[in-house]
Amino acid sequence: MSLIMSNIHKSYATAEGAVEILRGVNLFVGESESVALTGESGSGKSTLLHLAGGLDHPDSGSVMMAGQALSGFSERERAKYRRTKVGLVFQQFNLIPSLNVVANMSFHARLADRYDPAWQQILTERLGLEPYLARYPEQLSGGQQQRVAIGRTLAARPPLILADEPTGNLDEATGDAVLDLMLSLARNAGSALLLVTHSSRLADRLDRKVVLRGGRIVE
């Protein structure tokens, strides 16, 4: 299942009038491919991820996933797309405070109807979360919470993972280790990955690297 974004334009209204952030973005992410998205702060990387995830609409241009245009979806189909086709990993972990680690981990997989206890067990071991399964998010460190958030996304085996500086608020050593794990587990899951990162060391480990500059993708 590949993602094709074609000639995407997106503006935001500001006090000074509309500002066009994306000015004809073309981006392809192939099935199981991993792509690093870099670009200066404010260049529109998060905006682009939100459009890919169906969280927002472009002004013009098309987002196609597995041959289907998001713009043709009803609200219900769009919600299903978000639930079953994409996994989001953001800087804020967005764990559910009232659920323990096991329940947080399986939450999206159950919603997507793809809960697989054996796969969740593998993720739990690889992410080193076994000692914390009964804990609640507030009882975990930032690095541990991020590993749960990554496990939760991977547990659902989404065709496409959208990760927006997922380790941006962890220290560098912890962040790198968590990202290394996410990369190899995404490969195991067969998920394509579009990852916003500032680390060129990390970007080099992905299949491809693209840069967002001046509202367009420059390779």
Tell me how far, at minimum, the Cβ of 92 lies from ligand ADP, in Å: 13
Binding mask 174-193 for ligand ADP (x = CB under 6 A): --------------------
Tell me how far, at minimum, the Cβ of 155 lies from ligand ADP, in Å: 26
Binding span for ligand ADP by CB under 6 A among 41-49, 70-78, 130-138, 173-181? 41-49
Closest-by-Cβ residue to Mg ion is: 46
Residue 98 in contact with ligand ADP, rule: CB under 6 A: no
Phi, psi of 6 (to 5 degrees): -125, 125
Pairing mode, strands 34-38 and 192-196: parallel
C-alpha 123/C-alpha 90 separation (Å) is 19
Q: Do 96 and 137 meet the contact criterion of CB atoms below 8 Å apart?
A: yes
Per CB under 6 A, the list member of 38, 43, 124, 144 interacting with ligand ADP is 43
Residue 47 in contact with ligand ADP, rule: CB under 6 A: yes
Residue 41 in contact with ligand ADP, rule: CB under 6 A: yes
Other C-beta atoms lying within 10 Å of the C-beta of residue 155: 28
Nearest to 159 by CA among 6, 62, 32, 49: 32
SS3 118: helix
Nearer to ligand ADP, 15 or 118 (CB): 15
Q: Do 54 and 18 meet the contact criterion of CB atoms below 8 Å apart?
A: no
Site for ligand ADP, rule CB under 6 A: 12, 21, 39, 41-47
